[in-house]
């Protein structure tokens, strides 16, 4: 699926104009102390969004590209609001959260894969989506992309009202930050929690090392979710050994995008493209088992958002 999309985006890139020489000259060999200050809306403490943002901050400082502040937030929805309100200059967001983001919001690159994870207590009788019927479930923080993804999965599984259908035993949903959701799971205040991000998540991993939690598969919902939202979700297997699982856990994946407003400085955008390509190895959190999209053919596949015009030109400059 992503391969077909990448070919389409490459076709767009081939027809784009080359990067202006002045911008290239301004960026070449840039090692000076950064003077431009910008902010990136990331995500919750302990999640992949914030870890990636901190690695991006360090890489930008090394290059002298800008001084970046990686801001802790509730996640994708919160990030897009902050970006639209001009409270930040860059944002990380799940691809399924950008609907209605507005024509002013554009992408700089697709950076890594998120896995939707549903966590239950180790001694729980819940082993699949159907077992969540009538249960109390945290879908993530109120401003997170996880809540969007989890809600769509629960609707697809017939566990939430959708399109006139009312389940016999719907789930009761609440929104919680991950630490609070894990605490509620431990106490029995919720029966399951959803989280979307890279794997392993350190907080979930810590709970799994204590033998307290495990994941359930979510792949049963993929066909229905994909019919509603084509080219957005894809099958993912969380490897065995992650969270001490004895075998892989099949779930849904969704791409994570680095986005900005269209007005963001062209030279800065071009510099970010160079950084994503050349510093890819330094942008992967330690211990991450998630798929990274920091290659030319994957970075440009930012559907449903278009690329920033300066990003298009810079990818074209580098790869034709």
Going from the N-terminus, what domains does the chain have, and what CATH number goes with each?
A: 2-112+256-319 (3.40.190.10), 115-254 (3.40.190.10)
Percent of the chain with pLDDT over 90: 74
Distance CA 196, CA 260 (A): 21
Distance CA 176, CA 180 (A): 6
Q: Phi and psi dihedrals of 246, rounded to 5?
A: -75, -20
Distance CA 77, CA 73 (A): 10
**Residue range 274-290: average pLDDT?**
83
Cα distances (angstroms) measured from residue 75 to each of 28, 67, 114, 120, 289? 34, 22, 12, 22, 21
Q: Is the pLDDT of residue 94 over 90?
A: yes
Closest by CA position to 1, among listed 293, 291, 301, 252: 301
pLDDT at residue 289 in the model: 63
pLDDT at residue 13 in the model: 35
- Is the link from the previous residue into 214 a cis peptide, with omega within 30 of 0? no
74 half-sphere exposure, CB direction, 13 A CA radius: 18
Indicate the burial class of 15 (C-beta count within 10 angstroms; 0-12, 13-18, 19 or more): exposed
H/E run at residue 255: strand 249-261
H/E run at residue 251: strand 249-261
- Write down the pTM of the prediction: 0.85
Q: Which of 24-38, 138-152, 188-202, 208-222 has the lowest mean pLDDT?
A: 24-38
pLDDT at residue 99 in the model: 85
Percent of the chain with pLDDT over 70: 87
Does 215 or 298 have the greater pLDDT score?
215
User: Mean pLDDT across the chain, nearest whole number?
Assistant: 87
Place of tokens 């070449």: 28
CB–CB of 314/269 below 8 Å? yes
Distance CA 305, CA 259 (A): 9
pLDDT in tens, 241-269: 999 999 999 999 999 999 999 999 999 99
Q: Which of 22-31, 140-149, 175-184, 223-232 has the lowest mean pLDDT?
A: 22-31
Distance CA 60, CA 55 (A): 9
Distance CA 136, CA 191 (A): 5
Residue 35's pLDDT band (cuts 50, 70, 90): confident
pLDDT at residue 52 in the model: 92
pLDDT in tens, 36-74: 999 999 999 888 889 999 999 999 999 999 999 999 999
Q: Is the pLDDT of residue 164 over 90?
A: no
pLDDT at residue 12 in the model: 34
Distance CA 163, CA 281 (A): 44
CB–CB of 213/204 below 8 Å? yes
Residue 28: CB atoms within 10 A of its CB come to: 8
- 140: phi > 0 → left, psi -120 to 50 → alpha, else beta; which? left
Distance CA 135, CA 147 (A): 16
pLDDT in tens, 104-114: 999 999 998 89
């Amino acid at each position: 699926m992503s391969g077909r999309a990448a070919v389409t985006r490459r076709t767009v890139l081939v027809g784009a104009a080359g990067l202006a020489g002045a911008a290239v000259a301004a960026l070449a060999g840039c090692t000076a102390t950064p003077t431009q200050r910008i902010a990136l809306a990331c995500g919750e403490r302990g999640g992949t969004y914030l870890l990636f943002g901190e690695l991006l901050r360090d890489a930008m400082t090394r290059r002298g590209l800008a001084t970046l502040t990686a801001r802790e937030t509730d996640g994708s929805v919160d990030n897009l609001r902050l970006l639209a309100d001009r409270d930040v200059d860059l944002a990380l967001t799940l691809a399924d959260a950008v609907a209605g983001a507005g024509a002013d919001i554009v992408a700089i690159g697709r950076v890594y894969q998120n896995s939707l994870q549903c966590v239950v207590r180790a001694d729980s009788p819940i082993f699949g989506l159907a077992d969540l019927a009538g249960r109390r479930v945290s879908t993530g923080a109120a401003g997170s992309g996880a809540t969007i993804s989890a809600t769509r999965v629960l609707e697809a599984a017939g566990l939430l009202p959708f399109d006139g259908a009312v389940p016999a035993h719907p789930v009761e949903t609440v929104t919680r930050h991950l630490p609070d959701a894990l605490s509620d799971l431990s106490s029995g205040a919720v029966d399951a929690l959803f989280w979307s991000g890279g794997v392993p998540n350190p907080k979930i991993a810590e709970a799994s090392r204590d033998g307290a939690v495990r994941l359930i598969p979510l792949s049963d919902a993929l066909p229905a979710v994909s019919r509603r939202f084509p080219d957005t979700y894809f099958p993912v297997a969380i490897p065995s050994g992650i969270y001490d699982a004895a075998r892989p856990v099949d779930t849904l994946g969704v791409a994570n995008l680095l986005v900005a407003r269209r007005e963001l400085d062209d030279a800065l955008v071009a510099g970010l493209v160079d950084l994503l390509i050349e510093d890819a190895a330094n942008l992967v959190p330690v211990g991450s088992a998630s798929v990274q999209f920091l290659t030319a053919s994957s970075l440009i596949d930012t559907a449903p958002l278009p690329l920033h015009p300066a990003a298009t030109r810079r990818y074209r400059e580098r790869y034709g």
